[in-house]
């Protein structure tokens, strides 16, 4: 985690790392080491689910 709402994430297939603003609905669910599902459309990423 970088700041209050910006997180560093890593794609487990490509090992790409990127910053992403975390929506309020997922802030309490995300911890270091957890996996999440995201969608990448036209270069914009959106979190779908945190498991």
pLDDT in tens, 11-45: 999 999 999 888 888 878 888 888 889 999 998 99
Distance CA 12, CA 23 (A): 21
6 forms beta bridges with: 21
At 27 the three-state DSSP class reads helix
Distance CA 47, CA 27 (A): 11
At 28 the pLDDT is 81
At 17 the pLDDT is 93
At 4 the pLDDT is 66
pTM of the model: 0.69
């Amino acid at each position: 985690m970088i700041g209050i709402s910006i997180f560093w994430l890593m794609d487990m297939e490509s090992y790409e790392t990127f910053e992403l603003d975390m929506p309020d609905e997922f802030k309490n669910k995300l911890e270091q080491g957890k996996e999440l599902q995201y969608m990448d459309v036209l270069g914009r990423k959106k979190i779908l689910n945190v498991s």
